[in-house]
Amino acid sequence: MKKLFVIIAAVVMVSGFSTKVMAQATENTAAAARIVTPISITETSSLHFGTMAISAGAPGTCVLSTQGARTQTGGVNLSVQAPTASNAAYNVSGAVSTTYGITLPATITVTTGTANMTISSLLARTASAAANGLTGTLSASGTDNFTVGGTLSVAAGQATGVYTGTFDVTVAYN
């Protein structure tokens, strides 16, 4: 009987040492991704401040609002001669009912020969917001549009000519 007791005790001790302790747990978790239509921008009209003259010795500005209205300050005299003023205008398309941001440069330089002028205070007006701002919302069909205006600074005695330049406008999903 003593042998049987020793064998049972040995079996209990061996099985006690071979029990595994669980020190980890596993959870099955979901993963996902969403692909949206790439956002795109198309220019429909370029930015043009129109025709103007400058009084000798008097600098000024030509302000073109985002809705196409021109005003002048200082020695700038606006003309109705061609070419007339036009806002830069853009169509935007992308994912339905999403918001997007517009990035405009701080300034634009336009030149003719060695003379230049600066365009600053650029503003955008989206159709979806119906107000000046840098955010729009794509419609249920995934489209929107906006216009850009700004302020052209004209120096006293600015050289005559046609001034041109380029600038980048960027749209991105918010």
List, for residues 103-133, the tens digit of each pLDDT value. 999 999 999 989 999 999 999 999 999 999 9
Q: What is the pLDDT of residue 9?
A: 60
Instruction: Please check the confidence at residue 19 and state whether its pLDDT lies above 60.
Output: no
Q: Which of 59, 153, 60 is nearest to 108 (CA)?
A: 153
> How far does CA 120 lie from the centroid of its chain?
17
Q: What is the pLDDT of residue 74?
A: 96
Tally of domains in the chain = 1
Residues 6+ apart with CB under 8 A from 138: 92, 93, 94, 95, 96, 97, 98, 99, 100, 128, 144
pLDDT digits (tens, 9 = 90+) for 43-100: 999 999 999 999 878 999 999 999 999 999 999 999 999 999 999 999 999 999 999 9
Q: What is the pLDDT of residue 154?
A: 97
Q: What is the pLDDT of residue 58?
A: 92
pTM (predicted TM-score):
0.82
User: Does some domain include residue 70?
Assistant: yes
One-letter amino acid at 112 equals T
Residue bearing tokens 């109705």? 80
User: Does some domain include residue 32?
Assistant: no
Report the CATH number that the domain containing residue 131 is assigned in CATH: 2.60.40
DSSP 95-117: STT-EEEEE--SEEEEEETTEEE
User: Does some domain include residue 123?
Assistant: yes
**Residue 150 to residue 110: CA distance in whole angstroms:** 13
User: Does some domain include residue 25?
Assistant: no
Tokens of 64: 């073109």
User: Does some domain include residue 21?
Assistant: no
User: Does some domain include residue 102?
Assistant: yes
Q: What is the pLDDT of residue 93?
A: 98
**Residue 68 to residue 147: CA distance in whole angstroms:** 9
Q: What is the pLDDT of residue 56?
A: 78
Domain that holds residue 127: 37-173
User: Does some domain include residue 167?
Assistant: yes
Q: What is the dihedral of CA 102, 60, 157, 164, to 10 degrees?
A: 20
Instruction: Please check the confidence at residue 6 and state whether its pLDDT lies above 70.
Output: no
**Residue 109 to residue 34: CA distance in whole angstroms:** 40
Please name the residue ranges forming H helices in the chain. Answer: 2-17
User: Does some domain include residue 4?
Assistant: no
Average confidence (pLDDT) over 142-158: 97
